[in-house]
Amino acid sequence: MVCQLTATELADKLRKREVSVREALDECLARIRRVDPDYSAFLHVSEEAAIVEAASAQKLIDDGEGGPLTGVPLAVKDNMCTSGLPTTCSSKILEGFVPPYDATAIAQARSAGLVIVGKTNLDEFAMGTSTENSAFFPTRNPWNPDLSPGGSSGGSAVAVAAEMTQLSLGSDTGGSIRQPASLCGIVGFKPTYGRVSRYGLIAFGSSLDQIGPFARTVEDAALMSSVLSGHDPLDSTSQKDSQIDVTGLKKGSLKGLKVALPKEFHSDSIEPGVREALDFAIDALKKEGVEFTEVSLPSIKLGVTTYYIIAPAEASSNLARFDGVRYGPRVEAGTDHIGMVSATRGRLFGHEVKLRIMVGTYALSAGYYDAYYHRAQQVRRLMADEFERTFKDFDLVMGPTSPCVAFPLDSEDLDQMALKLMDYCTIPANMGGFPSISIPCGLSNGLPVGMLLNGPVNGDERLLQTAHAIERALPHGHKRPPMP
């Protein structure tokens, strides 16, 4: 069965002509048709375009020009521009928008021969942690369809976890790749800021946003990252030497690896079952020669409050362009421009998006800029410095990815504050721009727990190498959800 293979295994079979790209695609589309009605990961399945792409990928393979992922199906979070395919950000304000160009990450995936099968659901404009803020429908967790898959890239996480695709793309502003990866029991990687182009990713918090992969193994995530990375003159924050080189991926060793465990990641706000799963994994790694040291990084405690000033501030500015003139539908109201813009934005943006625009505008306003935005930037600097200093003495900073396992959709026990606190462990990597990966490390009450590994800025290769070695040392980590 093609769908259960990893991307590496599938690509290998495609290269050896044991399966054709079209056969692999047909199985993937059949699986989507069969299981997606239960999970609602996809907003749009691009069957016709995928058939055309599959033929080009087959040609690459036949001509001996294929790369390591040629012919592998790929699902894409619906906040990345895909030429000819709808791109909605799960918002009514972009309903019907079909971009005339590809985001750079998409163009790179296409030229490496990956076959885009569709666009996946997200919290509107990537604002959320449960995928319930989608203007269209919530996505369900394959471990239990009554639970949330996490968010905001919930659709992409579920596409991979429910074996509809081997690989998918997400974006991570405060944890949106790593938290859903953790809640769905798969791998999610946020590369160093500037190593994957953000051109064509519909901006949320531009100084924090980063595109990255979801996969079922670290190796697959690493290969996908190498396809996505590279300098892009169209993104002014793109680094010069940004190619992620994964040739040494399997050379990582655990003996003598120095890992910092911030006590702030081990606090009471972490669910006991999550702590137990992590402690169990830590014990297994100690036996492999990993050295753990408890440290204190006090700025971690300020992360959520700081993030919820900076991200909305940037969002309020980025979302100003959705005005009923330049993109998407328009709500006519009276004859004047202001009336039309406010009716369009008032009617077509969802509640959470409007909330953030208001908070962000307030934080940036003349009288409050110093008290909020400027102050938040100072804390951000402190946090980045604190981690940078720690990476001088340690290879990794480790913690749980999410303070809890998957939680019920429509949960009345969870207030907005509880949802925001879910980003507690993932936010530092966005603040500091450093790479961060979530890998499965066991179950708590039958639900997946993710381990978060953070490495220094531009240490992406080393981080992936170490994550690969850790994954091998935790054979109990990877489990499949109980699905049809």
User: In this complex, which beta carbon is closest to ligand GLN, that of residue 282 or of residue 302?
Assistant: 302
Minimum distance of ligand GLN from residue 205's CB (angstroms): 8
Among 71, 175, 188, 212, binds ligand GLN (CB under 6 A): 175
- What part of residues 57-96 is at the interface with ligand GLN (CB under 6 A)? none
Minimum distance of ligand GLN from residue 345's CB (angstroms): 19
Q: If binding is defined by CB under 6 A, does position 188 make contact with ligand GLN?
A: no
Structure tokens at 376: 């938040």
User: In this complex, which beta carbon is closest to ligand GLN, that of residue 46 or of residue 436?
Assistant: 436
Q: If binding is defined by CB under 6 A, does position 318 make contact with ligand GLN?
A: no
Cα 344 from Cα 340, distance rounded (Å)? 6
Q: If binding is defined by CB under 6 A, does position 303 make contact with ligand GLN?
A: no
Query: Which residues are paired to 212 by β-bridges?
Result: 170
Among 121, 173, 217, 229, binds ligand GLN (CB under 6 A): 173
Minimum distance of ligand GLN from residue 153's CB (angstroms): 7
Minimum distance of ligand GLN from residue 127's CB (angstroms): 5
Among 128, 138, 432, 459, binds ligand GLN (CB under 6 A): 128
Cα 456 from Cα 468, distance rounded (Å)? 17
Structure tokens at 193: 């800021």
Q: If binding is defined by CB under 6 A, does position 306 make contact with ligand GLN?
A: no
Minimum distance of ligand GLN from residue 400's CB (angstroms): 16
Q: If binding is defined by CB under 6 A, does position 174 make contact with ligand GLN?
A: yes
Q: If binding is defined by CB under 6 A, does position 213 make contact with ligand GLN?
A: no
User: In this complex, which beta carbon is closest to ligand GLN, that of residue 68 or of residue 213?
Assistant: 213
> Residue 168: left (phi > 0), alpha (psi -120 to 50), or beta?
beta
User: In this complex, which beta carbon is closest to ligand GLN, that of residue 69 or of residue 311?
Assistant: 311
Q: If binding is defined by CB under 6 A, does position 449 make contact with ligand GLN?
A: no
Catalytic residue (one of 20, 77, 436, 438):
77
Q: If binding is defined by CB under 6 A, does position 314 make contact with ligand GLN?
A: no
Q: If binding is defined by CB under 6 A, does position 452 make contact with ligand GLN?
A: no
- Among the listed ranges 171-179, 192-200, 221-229, 374-382, the one in contact with ligand GLN (CB under 6 A) is 171-179
Contact of 120 with 153, CB cutoff 8 Å:
yes
User: In this complex, which beta carbon is closest to ligand GLN, that of residue 175 or of residue 324?
Assistant: 175
Minimum distance of ligand GLN from residue 282's CB (angstroms): 26
Number of chain residues interacting with ligand GLN (CB under 6 A) = 13
255 tagged catalytic: no
Q: If binding is defined by CB under 6 A, does position 423 make contact with ligand GLN?
A: yes
- Among the listed ranges 82-90, 120-128, 372-380, 394-402, the one in contact with ligand GLN (CB under 6 A) is 120-128
Among 14, 167, 311, 357, binds ligand GLN (CB under 6 A): 311
45-56 in b/e form (b: 16+ CB < 10 A) is bbeebbeebbee
Structure tokens at 134: 């989608």
CA torsion, ordered 37, 38, 44, 48, to nearest 10 deg: -50
> Phi and psi of 168, rounded to 5°?
-150, 165
Among 24, 45, 126, 447, binds ligand GLN (CB under 6 A): 126
Per-residue string for binding with ligand GLN, 238-277, x by CB under 6 A?
A: ----------------------------------------
Cα 236 from Cα 220, distance rounded (Å)? 28
152 tagged catalytic: yes
User: In this complex, which beta carbon is closest to ligand GLN, that of residue 311 or of residue 341?
Assistant: 311
- Among the listed ranges 126-134, 271-279, 384-392, 455-463, the one in contact with ligand GLN (CB under 6 A) is 126-134
Residues of this chain that interact with ligand GLN (CB under 6 A) are: 126-129, 152, 172-176, 204, 311, 423
Q: Which residues are catalytic?
A: 77, 152, 176
